[in-house]
Amino acid sequence: MGGRRFVALGPLPTESGVVLPDVKVAYECWGTPRTGPDGSISNAVLVLHALTGDSHVVGPAGPAHPSPGWWGGVVGDGLALDTRRWFVVAPNVLGGCQGTTGPGSPAPDGRAWGSRFPHVTVRDQVAVEAALADRLGVRRWALVAGGSMGGMRALEWAVGRPDRVAALTVLASTAAATGDQIAWCAPQIAAVTADPAWQGGDYYDRPGPGPVDGLGVARRIAHVTYRSRWEMDTRFGRDPQPGEDPGTGGRYAVESYLEHQAGKLAGRFDAGSYVTLTRSMNSHDVGRGRGGTAAALATVTARTTVVAVDSDRLYPPEQQQHVVDHVPGARLVLVRSRYGHDGFLVETAAVSAALSQTLAEVAAPEDGARCGA
């Protein structure tokens, strides 16, 4: 379990028409929940992870957490999301593989959902997060913050539930998945589903590690979009992998780097969740059924900061500018980074400054008990 906590939420009707009968959500929390005059938690901050992230925002790797916290320089005592002041909650997303119901979870018949797991949208995922907030006693988040896929959910929160979001920070994300982004996702999904070990999505109860080769190929494709051309050219260039000769079939250093990234992900993430969540990201469109993105964004009432990374080639800055152009009073923060889309994870000083600015006018009361106390 590690630092995870679990809440059983009961049945969830999804937008696809399938009812998930017994949804469980995993989350982690840090800091002190404090109650306001209405009895609800008044200083809660919701942090939403990206595609292959999870609820482990802060803390070391260990038996229950295959990788260290992904925003350790941002959340903690004295940091931008100061846990001496804010009660920080990070759930694992619906469809994931780190404790929240997903394709690897048991269905009512005791077998893994596998291919029977329904298509879930970003709106379904936010519905689960809203149900968790209800259970925790959070009627209104002081801040909802997320990057990439997490930014999609953060925007959906602010558009679909404006009364529950006081402040909003969206990092390296978009109001709707574009054709280019869906196109990048297509070969990733195909790589996983073409792996013979995929077994139509029903590999969970079969021997072997599952479609890790296909997942590794998907990660190679994705990772190129996460990092910048500058990094690939400057860090690796045409250098051979030490001890190998590309002229006789050996690898270039950049190939070895991508292979390493593929192996890391295959060792900690489920291929079924990867496909499910990638399809969820493709579904993202805050304007669907709301008159288009401009009309939907105009309904946001939260104090909004949108963070763009200047070298992001997956979610380029003009997409964040579109959000700022249509959310009343929103401001854009442009982060200078050589690391592409992953700059929202790497450039902690600039990201922390943006979060601090967003929270500068949000008040939090002073009494309460530590998370988990």
**Catalytic residue flag (residue 341):** yes
Active site annotation includes 312: yes
CA atoms of 133 and 55, how far apart (whole Å): 15
End-to-end CA distance of the chain: 17
- Virtual torsion, Cα 343, 348, 353, 357, nearest 10 deg: 80
Among 55, 148, 280, 311, which one carries the catalytic annotation? 148
Residue in 54, 273, 341, 342 annotated catalytic: 341
> What residue ranges define each of the domains in the chain, with the CATH number in brackets?
5-178+285-359 (3.40.50.1820), 181-279 (1.10.1740.110)
- The residues, any chain, with a CB within 8 Å of residue 297's CB and separated by 6 or more, are 155, 159, 175, 286, 287, 323, 326, 327
Q: What local confidence, expressed as pLDDT, does residue 193 receive? A: 98
Nearest to 147 by CA among 75, 229, 219: 75
3-state secondary structure the chain: CCCCEEEEEEEEECCCCCEEEEEEEEEEEECCCCECCCCCECCEEEEECCCCCCCCCCCCCCCCCCCCCCCCCCECCCCCECCCCCEEEEECCCCCCCCCCCCCCECCCCCECHHHCCCCCHHHHHHHHHHHHHHHCCCCECEEEEECHHHHHHHHHHHHCHHHECEEEEECCCCECCHHHHHHHHHHHHHHHCCHHHHHHCCCCCCCCCCHHHHHHHHHHHHHHHCCHHHHHHHHCCCECCCCCHHHCCCEHHHHHHHHHHHHHHCCCCHHHHHHHHHHHHCCECCCCCCCHHHHHCCCCCEEEEEEECCCCCCCHHHHHHHHHHCCCCEEEEECCCCHHHHHHHCHHHHHHHHHHHHCCCCCCCCCCCCCC
Q: How far is CA 272 from CA 70, 84, 99, 106, in A?
A: 22, 38, 14, 13
C-beta separation of 93 from 277 below 8 A: yes
pLDDT at 370 (0 to 100)? 52
Rounded to whole angstroms, the Cα distance separating 262 from 222 reads 10
Sequential pLDDT tens for the chain (373 residues): 889 999 999 999 999 999 999 999 999 999 999 998 999 999 999 999 999 999 999 999 988 898 999 999 999 999 999 999 999 999 999 999 999 999 999 999 999 999 999 999 999 999 999 999 999 999 999 999 999 999 999 999 999 999 999 999 999 999 999 999 999 999 999 999 999 999 999 999 999 999 999 999 999 999 999 999 999 999 999 999 999 999 999 999 999 999 999 999 999 999 999 999 999 999 999 999 999 999 999 999 999 999 999 999 999 999 999 999 999 999 999 999 999 999 999 999 999 999 999 998 776 544 344 564 3
Distances (CA, A) of 59 to 4, 55, 56, 317, 323: 11, 11, 7, 31, 32
- The amino acid that residue 90 corresponds to is A
- How many CB atoms are located within 10 Å of the residue 81 CB? 25
Query: Cβ-count burial of 192 within 10 angstroms (0-12 exposed, 13-18 middle, 19+ buried)?
Result: buried
Selecting among 312, 326, 337, 342, the annotated active-site residue is 312
Quote the distance between the C-alpha of residue 205 and its chain's center: 27
Name the residue among 140, 25, 41, 28 with its Cα closest to residue 93: 25
Q: Are strands 44-48 and 87-91 parallel, antiparallel or unpaired?
A: parallel
Instruction: Give catalytic status of residue 148 as yes or no.
Output: yes
Place of tokens 């013979």: 196
Of 96, 25, 90, 86, which Cα lies nearest the Cα of 58? 90
Tell me what pLDDT residue 56 has. 97
> Can you tell me the distance from the alpha carbon of 329 to that of 303, in angstroms, rounded to the nearest whole number?
7
